[in-house]
Amino acid sequence: MGGELVETAPQLSYTEQFYNCFPFYLSIGMTYDQYWNSDCLLVKYYREAFDIRKKRENESLWLQGAYIYDALCAVSPVLHAFAKAGTKPQPYLDAPYPLTKKESEDIEASKRKADRQRARAMFEAWASGLDLPEHKSKGE
Amino acid sequence: MAKQITFEFEGKNYTLEFTRKSIEIMERQGFVIGDIVDKPMLTLPALFAGAFLAHHRSIKRKEIDAIYEKMTNKEELLQKLAEMYNEPLEALMEEPEENEGNVEWGASW
């Protein structure tokens, strides 16, 4: 009883364990010299950097999926088997997704500015068609 | 930054540190860290000598032994050297991700 606590598994030497992990660190960009001769804690930072890179790649793939989804949604009206003749696809996004809060605020601001200019142009066009006394006096 | 022991001996500065390469060299020469419990008097000088490999590879064993003779507080030195020796291996082990199943533990000293 309790024999499993007494029997020891064959122990790997430190060197063997170093060699076991070596290919992984080479694969994430460490050099031979960094792994074997430099500060032994460097591996931790390489691992952290690797995690950040993985996360970034994952986000990039997710973003690509989102663009593909949007593109499919845009063309879906014409992909419909019983689509009416003359059906046109929706236009694709006119700009990439904003990635930062500032970018998103800038886009909102420029959208608002464009809306204001359009409204002003419409108002001016409408106002110029009116038979106002001011126009009359200018004409005279 | 990896753990290091620094001292000055006869006007020269020394930095003791273990790299994976120095541990590989030591193990190739027959050093076994497990012997620290059974044969501490044999292991400590070898461990001390191995710590020179990283920064003072050309130093002679005779000089190392002379320095070792003059080192004070050998018990603490052994403890620190053992910690330093384990560091290159410990750095390769990932901490488990935080979750409810992790075992919290404490020591009484």
Check residue A6 and give its pLDDT.
Answer: 61
> A36, B21: Cβ pair inside 8 Å?
yes
Interface test with B, best of A32, A40, A48 (most B CBs within 10 A): A40
Work out the angle at residue A54's Cα, subtended by the Cα atoms of residues A49 and A55, and round it to the nearest 5 degrees: 100
Among the partner-chain residues A21, A38, A40, the one whose CB lies closest to the CB of B18 is: A40
All residues of chain B having their beta carbon less than 8 Å from the beta carbon of residue A37 are 19-21, 54
Contact B65, B45 (CB under 8 A): yes
Measured from the Cβ of residue B3, the count of other Cβ atoms closer than 10 Å reads: 17
Kindly indicate the confidence band of residue A4, based on its pLDDT and cuts at 50, 70 and 90: low
Give how far A20 is from chain B: nearest CA, Å. Answer: 10
pLDDT digits (tens, 9 = 90+) for B85-98: 999 999 998 776 66
Handedness of CA A89, A91, A97, A98 (dihedral sign): negative
Cα B59 to Cα A96: distance, rounded to the nearest angstrom: 62
Instruction: Pick from A13, A14, A19 the residue to mutate for testing the B interface (most B CBs within 10 Å).
Output: A14
What value does the mean pLDDT take over residues A67-95? 89
Which candidate, B45, B12, B26, B39, places its Cα nearest to that of A15?
Answer: B26
Query: Distances in Å between the alpha carbon of B25 and those of A45, A115, B46, B51, B87?
Result: 25, 73, 12, 11, 16
Chain B residues close to A49, C-beta within 8 Å: none
Set of chain B residues whose Cβ sits within 8 Å of the Cβ of A18: 20, 23-24, 88-89, 92
Confidence band, pLDDT 50/70/90 cuts, at residue B26 = very high
CB B88 within 8 A of CB A44: no
Min Cα distance A17 → chain B (Å) is 8
Residue with more model confidence, A99 or B96:
A99
Interchain pair B20, A40: CB under 8 A: yes
The answer, as to whether pTM is greater than 0.90, is no
Q: Which residue has the higher pLDDT, A137 or B93?
A: B93
Q: Which pLDDT score, from 0 to 100, does residue A8 have?
A: 60
Confidence of residue A85 (pLDDT cuts 50, 70, 90): confident
Cβ A26 vs Cβ A35: under 8 Å? yes
**B14 strand-pairing partners:** B7
pLDDT at A40 over 80: yes
